[in-house]
Amino acid sequence: MALKDSDVRDATKRAKDYKLADGGGLHLPVRPNGSKLWLMKYRFAGKEKLLSFGHYPEVCLAAALLLRAEAKVCLGAGQGSGRPSRLAKPKMTFEAVARAWHETRIASLNPGHAARLLRRLERDAFPALVDRDLRAITSADVLAMIRVVEACGAFDVSRRIKQHVSQIYRFAIPHGRADQDPAAYLSDLLKPEPRVRHMARVGISELSGVVRAIDTYDGDHNPCRRGP
């Protein structure tokens, strides 16, 4: 289960060591003296290893999640230390940072909404930006991705995707993983939504079904788009 800021902040010292686990090997041992040190357990070349990211609160939960994402990128590039090499620093991909950002949001969102948000990224953003270096993505790249969504008539989703990209960059920039938000100036370039067409009156027998549909709708359904 994903950790929340409050879980980490409110973890008090006990008579014996205990740990808070987040997933992906990331955990936070809490010592009897109150010390909290971020660690990541992983395996490389068949051997179990441990990587330290620093003490809380100097390293907050969001920073620890980004460091875990960076470590996984390094391991995927064959760097067994899990740390960037001075000679071959791996790129921080959009997907790695986006998934770290999404994990910070899970605790504050309705589970269904959190799942739809991730599905939206996986369907619309990752195919275009998945392996791209976060620093190398341009406004033109983001706009091209949005145009594909607009071409299916999903204008509400195109705005949500643009918003998500900005939120991901605002998450990454303070931690030194990006310098600017390429989606920041795209609002005026998005295509306007078509005028609302009011439908016929709904009968009382159909009302409950309509209410349920409205409650679960987030603009994603379109017959020409991939996935549910």
Q: Count Cβ atoms below 10 Å from residue 20 Cβ, excluding itself.
A: 18
One-letter amino acid for residue 29 of the chain: P
pLDDT at 217: 61
DSSP 123: I
Whether residue 89 is predicted with pLDDT greater than 70 in this model: the reply is no
Burial class (CB in 10 A: 0-12, 13-18, 19+), 185: exposed
Looking at 121-197, list the stretches that DSSP marks H as alpha helix, in order from N- to C-terminal side: 126-129, 139-151, 155-172
172-201 pLDDT, tens per residue? 999 888 999 999 999 999 988 776 666 667
CATH code reported for the domain at 94-191: 1.10.150.130
pTM of the model: 0.76
3-state secondary structure of 162: helix
CATH architecture of 5-76: 2-Layer Sandwich (3.30)
pLDDT at 147: 96
Q: What is the location of CATH 3.30.160.390 in the chain?
A: 5-76
Q: What is the location of CATH 1.10.150.130 in the chain?
A: 94-191
End-to-end Cα separation, the chain, in angstroms: 25
Pairing of strands 26-30, 18-23: antiparallel
Categorize the per-residue pLDDT at 122 as very low, low, confident or very high, splitting at 50, 70 and 90.
Answer: very high
Rounded to whole angstroms, the Cα distance separating 196 from 200 reads 13
